[in-house]
């Protein structure tokens, strides 16, 4: 080992030293470039994952707001249907204008639900909307439509709950 250090560089041609220096510099640049490339690719991938996660989070928040709006509008409509039915049963004139206003609000909320809801929610909403349309038709005739088993309501509620808990699609 000591012999190696004693030889020094006096027997090595200058061009060889230059080539090794050049090779070391190029190798260092290549290694640094490759590391920078891998770091940039990793950052891009991480940013993409972050954006997808943010999109899913925002979609879940939007859906939660739409679902709450749907139930608020439906509860108001259901209350007005019940009020109309009870008044017609008592022989009083019902407030058809209020029912029409509630129906318009509910249909707007149902349209938003169809646009932003998850696939299972949209499927369940079809049944719930059909049942509500039957309720409306019978209320206008002075009758009461009873959803005996509450299947449409429970199916829609369960689909919304699953959609808000699971990752957005």
Task: For residues 118 and 167, give the distance between their C-alpha atoms in angstroms, rounded to a whole number.
Answer: 10
pLDDT value at 34 more than 90 = no
Q: 3-class DSSP state for residue 9?
A: coil
pLDDT value at 61 more than 80 = yes
Q: Quick one: average pLDDT of 116-125?
A: 94
pLDDT band (50, 70, 90) for residue 132:
very high
Per-residue confidence (pLDDT) for residue 137, from 0 to 100: 87
- Report the share of the chain in percent with pLDDT over 90: 47
Domain residue limits, the chain: 60-165
The mean pLDDT value of the chain amounts to: 84
Nearest to 112 by CA among 151, 138, 73: 73
Whether 113 contacts 121, CB under 8 Å: yes
Nearest to 153 by CA among 91, 71, 84: 71
Q: Quick one: average pLDDT of 140-158?
A: 84
Per-residue confidence (pLDDT) for residue 3, from 0 to 100: 47
Instruction: Report the Cα 15 to chain-centroid distance in Å.
Output: 65
């Amino acid at each position: 080992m000591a012999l190696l250090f004693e030889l020094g560089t006096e027997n090595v041609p200058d061009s060889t030293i230059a080539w090794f220096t050049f090779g070391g510099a190029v190798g260092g640049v290549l290694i640094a470039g490759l590391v920078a490339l891998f770091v940039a690719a990793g950052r891009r991938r991480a940013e993409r994952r972050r954006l997808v996660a943010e999109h899913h989070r925002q979609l879940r928040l939007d859906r939660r707001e739409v679902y709450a709006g749907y139930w608020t509008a439906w509860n108001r409509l259901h209350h007005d249907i019940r009020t109309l039915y009870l008044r017609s049963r008592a022989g009083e004139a019902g407030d058809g204008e209020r029912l029409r206003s509630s129906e318009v609000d509910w249909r707007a909320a149902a349209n938003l639900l169809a646009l932003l809801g998850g696939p299972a929610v949209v499927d369940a909403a079809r049944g719930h909307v059909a049942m509500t349309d039957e309720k409306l038709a019978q209320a206008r005739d002075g009758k009461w439509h009873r959803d005996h088993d509450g299947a449409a309501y429970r199916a829609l509620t369960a689909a919304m709950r699953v959609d808000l808990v699971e990752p957005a699609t």
